Homo-oligomer: A and B are copies of this chain.
Amino acid sequence: MNAPTATLHLLPEVNQREVPAALIEALKARFGDQCSTAQAVREQHGRDESSFEVPPPAAVVFAESTTDVADAVRLASQYDTPVIPFGAGSSLEGHLLAVQGGISLDVSRMNQVLSINADDLTVTVQPGITRKQLNEEIKATGLFFPIDPGADASIGGMTATRASGTNAVRYGTMRENVLALEVVTASGDVIRTGTRAKKSSAGYDLTRLMVGSEGTLGVITEITVRLYPLPEAVSAAICSFPSIEAAVRTTIQTIQLGVPIARVELIDHNTVRMVNAYAKLGLREEPLLLMEFHGSPTSVKEQAETVQEIASEFGGNAFEWASTPEERTRLWTARHNAYFAAVQSRPGCKAISTDTCVPISRLADCLLDSVAETDASGIPYFLVGHVGDGNFHFGYLINPEDPKERETAEALNQKLVMRALKLEGTCTGEHGVGLHKMGFLVDETGAGAVDMMRTIKRALDPKNILNPGKIFAL
């Protein structure tokens, strides 16, 4: 960790580049109905789940093929104009906002499964397919794609932000699960990275460089990801704890013992209360862990017994079990509705979400101090976490009309991030840097590493047209 910056990390200045009318004409000539300048369409593509507001893009191109993407990028390059790839629009960090103007390149129509290789546990898809659609389409194979960031995000967007979510504790993140890519470069050329082989030492790992590059180095047009056999047995449980600390210590011990748990999600008592009000669930209003175990029936039983023993040491009891898909869906309702329930609990509010992730042994230190700090601030919040990975999210529910509240929330976030960095963690476990964490990125990795990123960006995108103004100022 480096010396923290003294200032709060707020939205950097918006610096709109003018979009030439000739580009819009050229796009309309090339794309016809696939290019829209309608206000409503532009506005829908000019925001995401972040709390920032900037002017919308000048046009939206709906790409239907890699050739479409390549042609759109080539035209944008010709006119030095930013291109912002758009999938499902579920970014939390302002990735989709046209902070330097430009056009939105919507790939949601590129949503096909291109090839399934069940024998190798891989599938190749277009970027606009969402994770739920993918799982629906491969159902018959007995395989599944485990990464679940909550939102029904596009696989392209998940690749671009190195997403993870529940299940990552067992199955890894997009970093571990993307094998190969097709990418349109800043000059509109099409390249391929990686192969379907499980491992390779063939040159620079361009696949991993693109994963998490947030649309700033290329537009992803094909993705090959790993699949997993549906587990023979699945069992889910919900368990309440007398305190957040008890739930967290149970998690730490579970991970340190090497239990191959598939999901372990924390929901604090505030959030349980919100979810109860929203979805009429009648859960005990105490901190709880939602857990899922995958494996052979014997293994699932062993894992569950081990975790029950650990939980009971920390006062966790009243395990409620679910073995059928329907029962499991009911249990997971609490987790999947947390965000919406929280936002509804304070009408008109905006949620500012934190995303720190620390080594598992540091989780209690990081989380408990931040809970105390946030409680003391008086800002309403929800708290959920993929705690098995050391990753959790506070959602500060602020009144967007009250600059003081935003300032308090940002100050809390700042303290939390500094604490996480001191504990050898990261400012963002899974949401990405986007607009909101540029300063934190420097705090985390140092100016030298960010300079290296900037050098790579300048070399691969000399006109700075690919989602400019994200990750670092440029």
Interface residues of A (CB under 8 A from B): 117, 119-120, 122, 161-164, 168, 173, 175-176, 185, 189-193, 195-206, 208-209, 211-213, 217, 229, 256, 258, 296, 298-299, 302, 355, 357-362, 389-391, 421, 424-433, 437, 440-441, 444-446, 448-450, 452-453, 455-456, 458-460, 471-472
Q: Which of B168, B258, B445, B455 contacts A202 (CB 8 A)?
A: B445
| Pair A448/B191 contact, Cβ less than 8 Å | yes
Whether B359 and A196, one on each chain, are in contact in the complex, defined by CB atoms closer than 8 angstroms, is yes
Are A204 and B460 within 8 A (Cβ)? no
**B449–A192 touching, CB < 8 Å:** yes
> Which of B198, B204, B389, B446 contacts A198 (CB under 8 A)?
B389
Q: Which residue of B lies closest to A458 (CB)?
A: B459
CB distance B161 to A201 under 8 Å? yes
Q: A445 to B199, Cβ gap below 8 A? A: no
Given contacts A191-B449, A199-B391, A201-B432, 8 further A-B contacts (CB under 8 A): A119-B361, A162-B200, A193-B449, A201-B428, A206-B452, A206-B453, A299-B299, A456-B459
Q: Are B449 and A459 in contact (CB under 8 A)?
A: no
Chain B hits for A389, CB < 8 A = 198-199
Give CA–CA (A31, B315) in the complex, Å.
61
Query: Could you tell me the distance in whole angstroms from the C-beta of A395 to the nearest C-beta in chain B?
Result: 17
Residue of B nearest to A168 (CB): B199
Find out whether the CB atom of A185 lies under 8 angstroms from the CB atom of B361: no
Question: Please, which residues of chain B bring their CB within 8 A of the CB of A258?
Answer: 229
Using Cβ atoms and an 8 Å threshold, which residues of chain B touch A449? 191-193, 203, 206
Q: Which of B197, B452, B458 contacts A424, CB < 8 Å?
A: B197
Residues of B close to A175: CB separation below 8 A: 199, 205, 208
User: Taking CB as reference atom, which chain B residue is nearest A357?
Assistant: B197
Residues of B within 8 A of A211 (CB): 205
Contacts of A185 in B (CB 8 A): 448, 452
28 contacting pairs across A/B (C-beta < 8 A) = A120-B359, A192-B448, A192-B449, A195-B444, A196-B359, A197-B358, A198-B357, A198-B390, A199-B389, A200-B357, A201-B355, A201-B428, A201-B430, A202-B427, A202-B440, A202-B441, A203-B433, A203-B471, A204-B456, A205-B209, A206-B445, A229-B258, A299-B299, A452-B460, A455-B460, A456-B459, A458-B459, A459-B459
Give bound CA distance, A357 to B200, whole Å. Answer: 7
Q: Smallest CB-CB separation from A119: which chain B residue?
A: B361
Q: CB distance B201 to A471 under 8 Å?
A: no
Of B199, B229, B448, which is within 8 A of A429 by CB?
A: B199
Min C-beta distance of A226 to chain B, whole Å: 11
CA distance A193 to B452 in the complex (A): 10
Q: How far is the CA of A424 from the CA of B202 in the complex (A)?
A: 13
Q: Which residues from B are CB-within-8-Å of A361?
A: 117, 119-120
Instruction: Tell which of B202, B390, B460 touches A456, judged by Cβ atoms closer than 8 Å.
Output: B460
- Are A203 and B197 in contact, with the CB atoms below 8 A? no
- From known contacts A359-B122, A448-B190, A455-B459, infer whether A212 and B201 are also in contact, taking CB-CB under 8 Å: yes
Q: CA of A282 to CA of B197 in the docked complex: distance in angstroms?
A: 35
In Å, the complex CA distance between A6 and B432 comes to 44
Check if A162 sits within 8 Å of B192, measured CB to CB: no
Point out the residue from B191, B193, B426 that lies within 8 Å of A200, measured CB to CB: B426
Query: A256 touching B162 by the CB < 8 A rule?
Result: no
Asked if B448 and A201 make an inter-chain contact with CB atoms under 8 angstroms apart, the answer reads: no
Tell me, in angstroms, the Cα distance from A444 to B117 when the chains sit together.
20
**B205 contacts A446, C-beta separation under 8 Å:** no
| Bound Cα distance A122, B425 (Å) | 13
Given the known inter-chain contacts A204-B453, A429-B199, please indicate yes or no for A119 contacting B460, CB distance below 8 A. no
Task: Give the complex CA separation of A192 and B448 in angstroms.
Answer: 8
Out of B168, B191, B205, B426, name the residue touching A197 (CB < 8 Å).
B426
In the assembled complex, the Cα of A433 lies from the Cα of B200 at a distance in Å of 10
Q: Is the CB of B445 within 8 A of A196?
A: no
Tell me which residues across on chain B come within 8 A of A208, comparing CB atoms. Answer: 175, 205, 208-209
Instruction: Tell whether, in the assembled complex, residue B119 and residue A256 are in contact, meaning their CB atoms are under 8 Å apart.
Output: yes
Closest chain B CB from A115 CB (angstroms): 10
Q: Which residue of B lies closest to A296 (CB)?
A: B302
With CB as the reference atom, state the residue of chain B lying closest to A256.
B119
A190 to B451: give the CA distance in the assembly, Å. 12
A431 (CB) vs chain B CBs: closest residue: B201
